[in-house]
Amino acid sequence: MLSRAVRSSYVVAVAVFAGIAARLFLLVRSGNSPEGILGGGSDAPAYILLGKSLAEGHGMSYVGQPTALRAPLYPLLLAALRLLFDGQSLLVMRLLQFLAAIFTAWICGKTAALVWSERAKWPAFALALCAPTLIFFTSQILTETFTALLVAVFLYLLASYSLKENSKALIGMGICAGILLLLRFNTLFVPAIAAMAAFRIPPTAASFKRALVPISLALALVSPWLYRNLVIFHSEILYSSQTGTTAFQGAIAPEGRTQPQGLVAMQKRQGWWLSNIETDKAVRLEYPSEIELNRQARREAIRAWSELGFGAIPLLIKKIGYFWLSTDQLLDTGSFSRSQSVLRAGGVLIYWFILAAAVVGWFRLKKIAPRIADLFLLYAVFATLLHLPFTMNTRLRSPLLEPLLCILAAIAIVPAPESKEDFAQREILA
């Protein structure tokens, strides 16, 4: 009879192999095409067009019209790869994302070992490699894979700083937060979490100074983008021009997916949709600048939310279900083939297992390292609250929260640290 430890090692090894094999399969089958074989990359054409525009020296624009609908870092990377590898740039991007996915899993393992024990390292690594959404995004020309990597690094630094209050970890959190702000607009809450990690009760001048370090670093990194928008959009747009339309969509088509019914409702009231604006065709010139488009969308968003009244409460509950339970992948798949719908449903079931294990893992971590557990919880709560007025779905959640869930799930399935020194260290630092 094989021992329990040996059986666990086999399971982890099989999971690691399966996760890597699935990613390689998707990479090879997707190749250099704009969209991955599983579909779902509706934003990919917009990123590819922006990369092309940047590579040709036209900046972040569509048909010469400046845009702030997308964060700039991913298009800049696409532009660099286009200049270096020309026609094979999308394949190279997928290769980079494949490597980033493996590094993400490795960082998750490192974090689990740091906050729990070495036994949690490889289970966390395996879970991060097998999480269905993280697998899916590896072959998509989208920001999710790099976002998940940076989130994993941020969580490691967050845990490291909580244990040792290392200034390098604090600086690292600020840098990581700044890069995330340039990669995805929905990471605005990340610098706040870094500041909270540095803050102490009762407050002191030193505590305030430490809390300002990651915020200042993040602001410094994102400042060129902010300055560019202030100049180009005449102080009308600072960070993103997508705020109004995503808030409107959050009330009309809250799952944030381009399903026909939601799209028709939005176009009828707003008069445009992103596909009308994010194009290199002359039709873009029929619409005003993003200053006016964002202003118009904000008005419609305020009106739509006002019309909901108390109906906003069940809507928000539904949106949280989309975000945390991936119900959008079960209930809103009408535009997908039957095989795609079944595949996505299977992915949801695997995710539910990871989520349930993560909840158990958080309670276990709370007993040994309460401060780290509280910061992890705050991170999850802030990520949820930020999205409530806007669209909420599996895609928005996965890069922000799957690394954390995989870390916590690994804690749930391995024994607690046995060393008294380990317990003593966590009790002192908690």
Residue 230 has pLDDT above 80, yes or no: yes
> Which tens digit of pLDDT belongs to each residue from 113-127?
999 999 999 999 999
- Closest-CA residue to 357 (of 103, 107, 18, 131): 131
∠ CA(331), CA(335), CA(338), 5° rounding?
Answer: 75
Query: Sign of the C-alpha dihedral, residues 132, 90, 47, 277?
Result: negative
* CB distance 410 to 124 below 8 Å: yes
Q: Residue 61 belongs to what H/E stretch? A: strand 61-62
Confidence bin at 343 (pLDDT 50/70/90): confident
Query: What's the rounded Cα separation, in Å, for the pair 258 and 264?
Result: 10
| From 6-20, 262-276, 303-317, 366-380, the region with the lowest mean pLDDT | 262-276
> Which tens digit of pLDDT belongs to each residue from 137-154?
999 999 999 999 999 999
Q: Residue 65 belongs to what H/E stretch? A: strand 65-66
Confidence bin at 222 (pLDDT 50/70/90): very high
Q: Is 62 helix (H, G, I), strand (E, B) or coil?
A: strand
Query: What's the rounded Cα separation, in Å, for the pair 182 and 235?
Result: 19
| From 18-27, 253-262, 317-326, the region with the lowest mean pLDDT | 253-262
Query: What's the rounded Cα separation, in Å, for the pair 33 and 192?
Result: 38
Buried b (16+ CB within 10 A) or exposed e, 199-236: eeeeeeeeeeebbebbbebbbebbeebeeebeebbeee
The pair phi, psi for residue 279, each rounded to 5°, is -150, 155
DSSP H helices in 117-204: 121-130, 132-138, 144-164, 167-183, 190-198
* CB distance 150 to 44 below 8 Å: no
Confidence bin at 376 (pLDDT 50/70/90): very high
Cβ atoms < 10 Å from Cβ of 45 = 16
The pair phi, psi for residue 61, each rounded to 5°, is -155, 160
Cβ partners under 8 Å of residue 204, min gap 6 = none
pLDDT at 211: 93
Query: What's the rounded Cα separation, in Å, for the pair 204 and 206?
Result: 5
- Closest-CA residue to 65 (of 289, 291, 293): 289
- Closest-CA residue to 189 (of 404, 389, 383, 430): 383
Cβ atoms < 10 Å from Cβ of 261 = 11
Cα dihedral: 156, 157, 159, 160 (round 10): 110
> In this structure, which amino acid lies at residue 126?
A
Instruction: Tell me which residue has tokens 């009330």.
Output: 251
Residue 2 has pLDDT above 50, yes or no: no
Confidence bin at 420 (pLDDT 50/70/90): very low
Q: Is 100 helix (H, G, I), strand (E, B) or coil?
A: helix
Give the residue with greater pLDDT, 333 vs 12: 12
Give residue 201's Cα distance to chain centre. Answer: 30
Mean pLDDT of the chain: 90
* DSSP 8-state symbol, 416: P
* CB distance 68 to 290 below 8 Å: yes
* Integer angstrom CA distances of residue 39 from 33, 137, 317, 351: 11, 10, 28, 19
pTM recorded for the entire structure = 0.93
Domain map of the chain by residue range? Answer: 4-429
Percent of the chain with pLDDT over 90: 77
> In this structure, which amino acid lies at residue 179?
I
- Residue 356 corresponds to which tokens in the numbers above? 């349930």
Give the residue with greater pLDDT, 78 vs 40: 78
> How do the residues of the chain divide into helix, strand and coil, expressed in percent and rounded to 5?
75, 0, 25
Query: What's the rounded Cα separation, in Å, for the pair 384 and 276?
Result: 29
Euclidean distance between the first and the last CA atom of the chain, given in angstroms as a whole number: 41
Q: Is 415 helix (H, G, I), strand (E, B) or coil?
A: coil
Confidence bin at 424 (pLDDT 50/70/90): very low
